Amino acid sequence: MSYMPVQCEIQTPVGVLFASAEDGAIIGLSTEDPGFSRGDDPLFDLLRAELDGYFAGKRQVFDLPLSLRGTAFQRRVWEALARIPFGEVRTYGEIAEEIGSPAASRAVGMACHRNPVLLLIPCHRVIGSGGRMTGFGCGIGMKETLLALEGHSVSKSNKKKAWDKLL
C-alpha cells in the first residue's frame, strides 16, 4: 500500500526543520520546505522526541526507519556517513577511501549535499582536509553549532558563537 508523503514543521534550537514521511519511514529532514501536504504521522512524534534528546545532549544515535532515495553511489556515501560516531569527524577524502572510490572526494561532497535527512545521516560530521569547515548546505555556522553540540572542537571563536546560537 502506498501513501502520499506528508510533512510537518519541527522547531529546533537550530531553526525550523521540515520532516517528511511516507509508507512508515522518514524520507526527508531539511531546512527547506519540500512542499508536501501537511499531515500527521506517528513517526513525527518519535522524530521530535529523538531530536529533543539530541539537542539536550542525551541522544547520540537516531533510531527511526528511513527510506532514502538516491543513486547507488549516494547510498554508499550515506551509509558511510551513518557510521561516523557522535563527536567525531571524517574528511571527504576519508569517506571516498572508505567506500572504495579514493579519487571521488568531490563526488562525496555532492552526495553529502544531497543527503535527504539532515542530522539523521550526519553529513555535518564531514569536513575538509586539514580540519577546514567546508561545504554544508545549511551554512558553516550551523555545521559548527552541531559539531560543538557533539563536543567536537571547532575554533575557539567559532565554538563560542556556535554555543551562543544554540542557547
Give the residue numbers marked as catalytic: 123
Helix (H) or strand (E) holding 95: helix 92-98
Q: Which of 108, 43, 46 is nearest to 79 (CA)?
A: 108
Give the Å distances, CA to CA, from 52 to 100, 102, 150.
Answer: 35, 36, 14
Angle at 26 between CA 84 and CA 111, to 5 degrees: 45
Identity of residue 165: K
Residue 103 to residues 79, 87, 132, Cα–Cα distance (Å): 18, 26, 19
Q: Which residues, other chains included, contact 80 with Cβ-Cβ below 8 Å and sequence gap of 6+?
A: 90, 95, 98, 99
Please check whether residue 99 is in contact with residue 77, taking contact to mean a CB–CB distance below 8 angstroms: yes
